Structure 1
Amino acid sequence: MNAVRLTAAALLLAACAPAADPSRPPSPSPGDGVTEAGLLRLADRRDFDEGYLRAGLAHRDPAMARRAAWVLANLRRAEGVALLGPVLAHRDTSVAATAAFALGQIADSAAVPLLVPYADAARAAAAPTVVAEAAYALGKIRHPQARAALETLLRTVDADGSGAREVAGAALLAIWRQGRPTPVDAIEPWIRHADPEIRWRAAYALARRPEPAATAALFRAAADPEPLVRSFVARALTGPMADSSGVGRQAAWQTLRGLAEDDPAQIVRINALRTLGTYPGEPTLRVLLGAAGSSEHPYEVIAALEGL
């Protein structure tokens, strides 16, 4: 009987409880009320609506959160840094990567300490896109901490590990933006990597801001099988750099002549012809006049004439 009475009492209490108000809406989820059209309107009007953007970043739909981060990237307002920082830890890596990209577009030094923990070799295998975008972003913000983080990333990421191509490739394309001196010791090992996609990025990083140590490293890659690597060698091997790097003017000139006359890739021949113009003298004149008079490719003729 006791069980029956308890059940009856429970039913009576349930019947007496106030009914739910059907007119009351359910509790809102994060980002409710944010639409893609609304976010695009902010971008079009260059309108920084902090509350709306914050709600967009917190939206339950990752696509909407990505769009909100993209809008902040387009607005490029320093106030966006504080909104984007927490999004770097978003469980959806595409959202986190877009937040890192946006911080790079804003390019405010306040973003550096937020980005540095994510430009970490330990994260490369699990979230390569996030690490890569953090590296790209740090490259756009010239700051000692950003430089140090990129150098550390290049020195510590596993060259053969998962995500190495994406992460190392991003760091190589970012590091040159930090200015001189070029950290040749951090870059040079990558120019010997088995993956040509990584090698040409390393060559680009070394060639982008010519320095003696970088020129010497590039000279050693003059016979690389990847045409893009050879093209950056040809671009960087100028007469003044050959002298100051210890490569030697004659050795560098011979290498450039071979690239200008015999390389199968047109981009390599064009760069070599242009760079030969930094070696004044009759031997250079003969090579350039020969190319200008015999080449069937107009861009090579133009490069030879520029060298003259």
Structure 2
Amino acid sequence: MPLRRKLLRAVLFCSFATSATAQQHAPLSAQDAHTYAQLLAMTDTRQFDSALIDRALASASPQLRAAATLAIGQVGPEHGMAGIAHLRRLLTDREISVAANAAYAIGLLRDSISIGALSGALAAMNDIAREAAWALGEIGSPARGAITSALGRPRPNDVTVQLLLAAAKLRPVPLADIKPLLRAESPPVVWAASYAIARTRSAGGVRELIDLEGSPSLRVSRASQSAAGT
């Protein structure tokens, strides 16, 4: 996802503002601020500094730990895989921002060995689960079983949307797992399911797209629009 790659620096910076629970954190100490600057330099040069990552992750600052977690993925697969063990462990970190960044960073590294850990993270808080779903999509074909299995279970709508977008990247697209979600009550879920089918121009899903007129979510949406217009 090129746009997300362009936003990595912004995300790295924004992790210092608030945690995923919107709690305010104390300002960084001079030492932590220096460590953060070193993390930025590390990501700019795409060189993994194990000692720097260890020092940042040992900080008492959740913001710095979240930034260090993201930085492991930002240096790219060639060097970032040296920190993959950190990322797998951090998927269950008590700080949501750290755990969510761990899932996202694994997606940047496209580490297929982490598929099981990412599948487990789908049951975590929404912020973490969304990033785990996205990461599975980045891993692609090796994560096919994990993605299709996850689509068959009830999940928060925003997580299901990310799973559908992940499924849209698979070839062939898993139509049998996507089609049932065209009848979901959530308009975003229906949109994501239809996008996953239409994006691949799969003949097997044409009938379902034509029949979207019967989608419960679209009926509710039309009814709401009609009520608003009267």
> Secondary structure of the equivalent of 1:90?
coil
Matches within 5 A, 1:62-81: 62-76=62-76, 77-81=80-84
Aligned Cα root-mean-square deviation (Å): 2.2
Q: How many equivalent residue pairs?
A: 184
1:117 corresponds in structure 2 to: 120
> Secondary structure of the equivalent of 1:186?
helix
% same residue: 32
Equivalent residues of 1:34, 1:55 under 8 A apart: no
> Secondary structure of the equivalent of 1:78?
helix
Equivalent residues of 2:91, 2:103 under 8 A apart: yes
Distance 1:217 1:55, change over 3 A: farther
Distance 1:150 1:109 in 2: 13
Measured after TM superposition, the shift of residue 143 of structure 1 is 3.5
Equivalent residues of 2:179, 2:193 under 8 A apart: yes
* Superposed CA offset, 1:140-160 (max 9, x none): 11244x1111111111124xx
Measured after TM superposition, the shift of residue 80 of structure 1 is 2.6
Distance 2:176 2:110 in 1: 27
Distance 1:103 1:205 in 2: 23
Structure 2 residue identity aligned to 1:149: A
> 1:216 aligned to 207, 211, 214, which one?
207
Measured after TM superposition, the shift of residue 212 of structure 1 is 2.3
> Secondary structure of the equivalent of 2:212?
coil
* Superposed CA offset, 1:236-287 (max 9, x none): xxxxxxxxxxxxxxxxxxxxxxxxxxxxxxxxxxxxxxxxxxxxxxxxxxxx
> 2:162 aligned to 155, 170, 179, which one?
170
Equivalent residues of 1:191, 1:202 under 8 A apart: yes
Measured after TM superposition, the shift of residue 59 of structure 1 is 2.5
* Superposed CA offset, 1:38-70 (max 9, x none): 111111222210121133233321111111122
Structure 1 residue identity aligned to 2:110: A
> 1:149 aligned to 130, 146, 149, which one?
146
Measured after TM superposition, the shift of residue 223 of structure 1 is 7.1
> Secondary structure of the equivalent of 1:156?
coil
Measured after TM superposition, the shift of residue 84 of structure 1 is 1.0
Measured after TM superposition, the shift of residue 116 of structure 1 is 2.4
Distance 1:114 1:54 in 2: 21
Distance 1:112 1:143 in 2: 11
Distance 2:116 2:141 in 1: 10
TM normalised by structure 1 equals: 0.55
Measured after TM superposition, the shift of residue 115 of structure 1 is 1.7
TM normalised by structure 2 equals: 0.72
Larger Rg: 1
1:107 corresponds in structure 2 to: 110
Equivalent residues of 2:140, 2:166 under 8 A apart: no
Q: Which ranges of structure 1 fall in alignment gaps of 5 or more residues?
A: 1-30, 159-163, 227-308
Equivalent residues of 1:57, 1:87 under 8 A apart: no
Distance 2:177 2:158 in 1: 17
